[in-house]
Amino acid sequence: MKQLQVLFSNEVALEDDRKMRLDYFLTEGYLKSDVNEPYYGIRITKNLDNLEEFEEVSGISCSKEIVLSMIKKFSMNVVTPIHLVEIVDDLVTQGS
């Protein structure tokens, strides 16, 4: 069973005066039901005009600290769901 925990939320004012909310989640799951070590991932949810859009990358790392660091960077840089997969791929490839 996967668990979600909201860590950060940003409200962004758009050029047309609408407000967009971005929520950054830590996900926790298990690859197999008989394995006790969790793996961590990220979900970003965008709420705009009563519509919700999200993207998720599961199984980034078994290190909670690495994934928490990524989520903090994403929140500080206002990363949206559409860019999540590409940026995670870049960070994992670079070893950050």
The span from the CA of 4 to the CA of 25, in Å, is 6
Are the beta carbons of 3 and 27 closer than 8 angstroms? Answer: yes
pLDDT at 96: 53
**Residue 21's beta-bridge partner residues?**
11, 47
For the chain, give the number of residues.
96
The span from the CA of 3 to the CA of 30, in Å, is 10
Radius of gyration (C-alpha) of the chain in whole angstroms? 14
**Residue 10's beta-bridge partner residues?**
22
pLDDT at 33: 64
pLDDT digits (tens, 9 = 90+) for 55-88: 999 989 999 999 999 999 999 999 999 999 999 9
